[in-house]
Amino acid sequence: MEGKKDGLLLSEANRGDLQSYIDSETSYIHEALRKKWSFQVAKAVAHVHEQGVIHMNLSTTNVLLHQTGQTINAILADFGGSRCPALGLSGNLIPDDPYLDPQLTEFNLPKVDVFSLGVIIYIIMTGHYPFHERPAPDNEEMYKYGERVQKLYQNGEFPDLSSVPYGDVIAGCCCERRFETAKEVVVALEAVDGGIKAHSFQELRHSL
């Protein structure tokens, strides 16, 4: 088009990545907003799975936030490492810690993303990484944390979910591993909140 430059036009995300926002603002994030983001991320991953794509690198840093008025929405990002088994395409990535399930033996199935999605929902709902107080670990601390969390996962351990909202859904992703795709996670989230949809949160007011 005349006057337009070549390139990609990407969605705006004026509130940065989800993890940075949680680290800086977690005390001010209402539970309803956390639930909204959990549902939005799950819906986005479910859509990706329905297109035959496995994200492979789900994390709270690969979820972006955009605010319009008083509404803050979550946007799934970074598909550079994704796989599409039907087309024989692979970005040759596996999830980073703490989003990687050490019990996985097959990486061409959507279940790779399901464990990661459960961890994302856990972080959204609690404000911190599994087995780690906020903020998120970084640099050398991240390396040590990764080794520790993988040993805990390998031993079948996960943080207590009894008082965590959506705890049963998180358990289905990360402990019982009963979900095969993100669509099943969406259905479980809807069941918990009586069929709640992301748009029902659109008028949620969020002030800092």
For residue 73, which amino acid is it? N
What average pLDDT score do residues 79-107 get?
90
- Highest mean predicted confidence (pLDDT) among 67-71, 87-91, 97-101, 195-199: 97-101
CB under 8 Å to 147, separation ≥6 — which residues?
A: none
pLDDT tens-digit readout, 179-206? 999 999 999 999 998 655 544 444 344 3
pLDDT band at 33 (very low <50, low <70, confident <90, very high): very high
For residue 193, the model assigns a pLDDT of: 80
For residue 144, the model assigns a pLDDT of: 94
SS3 181: coil
- Which pTM value belongs to this model? 0.89
Residue predicted with more confidence, 135 or 129:
129
Question: Residue 123, Cβ neighbours under 10 Å: how many?
Answer: 27
Give the span between the Cα atoms of 111 and 45, in whole angstroms: 11
Contact indicator for 115, 28 with CB cutoff of 8 Å = no
What is the rounded average pLDDT for all residues in the chain? 88
Contact indicator for 136, 19 with CB cutoff of 8 Å = yes
Contact indicator for 62, 91 with CB cutoff of 8 Å = no
What are 65's strand-pairing partners? 74
pLDDT band at 26 (very low <50, low <70, confident <90, very high): confident
What average pLDDT score do residues 145-162 get?
96
Contact indicator for 15, 72 with CB cutoff of 8 Å = yes
Q: What percentage of the chain has pLDDT greater than the value 90?
A: 67
Contact indicator for 55, 48 with CB cutoff of 8 Å = yes
Instruction: Tell whether domain 18-198 is in CATH 1.20.140.10.
Output: no
DSSP H/E element including 190: helix 182-192
Ranking 31-45, 68-82, 142-156, 187-201 by mean pLDDT, the lowest is: 187-201
Ranking 11-20, 71-80, 116-125, 136-145 by mean pLDDT, the lowest is: 11-20
- Flag whether pLDDT at 29 surpasses 70: yes
